[in-house]
């Protein structure tokens, strides 16, 4: 790799770290203000799901933005060893793989609130005799998620 291309890679990696950190901070701050995240996750489902339903479509989009701004960090994490000229550093390579996998798993975790949880909101308010149709709706949501992410990751999900 030439020095000029490595400098370009450093600038790209640095810019993506900055952009990722700033955009995720903004998205997470909005999510925290509108949904009391992450504290609300310690509450029982009977509290969380109605609060999620009350947030409406806007809250789903905030979750979507939070998910993908965090996922953006995977790119500079993967670029960093080359940007530092340390692709032969075994510890850094292992850490890079762990970090990228962590971002991917977090992305899946965030996107559950976009693809799966919206179908659980009505179910939390339903009487037991009325749950079956919504459970079917939830099943359809999972199927669309499977189409989106592939069956392997959906099973892990």
Q: Which is nearer to another protein, 36 or 146 (CB)?
A: 36
CA distance 34 to 55: 8
Q: Which is nearer to another protein, 18 or 126 (CB)?
A: 18
Q: Which is nearer to another protein, 27 or 145 (CB)?
A: 27
CA distance 101 to 66: 17
Q: Which is nearer to another protein, 11 or 125 (CB)?
A: 11
Q: In angstroms, what is the minimal distance from the CB of 154 to another protein?
A: 23
Q: In angstroms, what is the minimal distance from the CB of 34 to another protein?
A: 17
Q: In angstroms, what is the minimal distance from the CB of 72 to another protein?
A: 11
Q: Which residues bind another protein (CB under 8 A)?
A: 2-4, 6-7, 10-11, 13-22, 24-25, 38, 42, 73, 76-77, 80, 83-86, 89, 91-92, 94-96, 98-99, 102-103, 106
CA distance 141 to 148: 11
Q: In angstroms, what is the minimal distance from the CB of 102 to another protein?
A: 4
Exposure string (b/e) for 25-58, b if CB count within 10 Å is 16 or more? Answer: eebbebbeeebebeeeeeeeeeebbebbbebeee
Q: In angstroms, what is the minimal distance from the CB of 157 to another protein?
A: 19
Q: Which is nearer to another protein, 11 or 140 (CB)?
A: 11
């Amino acid at each position: 790799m030439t020095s000029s291309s490595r400098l370009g890679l450093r600038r790209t990696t640095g810019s993506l770290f900055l952009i990722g950190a700033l955009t995720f901070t903004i998205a997470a701050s909005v999510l925290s203000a509108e949904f009391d995240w992450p504290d609300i996750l310690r509450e029982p489902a009977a509290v969380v799901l109605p609060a999620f339903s009350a947030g409406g479509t806007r809250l789903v989009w905030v979750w979507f933005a939070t998910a993908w701004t965090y996922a953006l960090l995977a790119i500079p994490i993967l670029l960093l060893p080359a940007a530092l000229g340390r692709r032969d550093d075994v510890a850094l390579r292992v850490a890079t793989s762990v970090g990228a996998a962590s971002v991917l798993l977090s992305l899946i975790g965030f996107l559950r609130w976009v693809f799966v949880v919206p179908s659980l909101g009505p179910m939390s308010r339903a009487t037991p005799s009325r749950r079956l149709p919504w459970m079917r709706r939830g099943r359809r949501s999972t199927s669309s998620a499977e189409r989106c992410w592939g069956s392997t990751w959906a099973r892990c999900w």
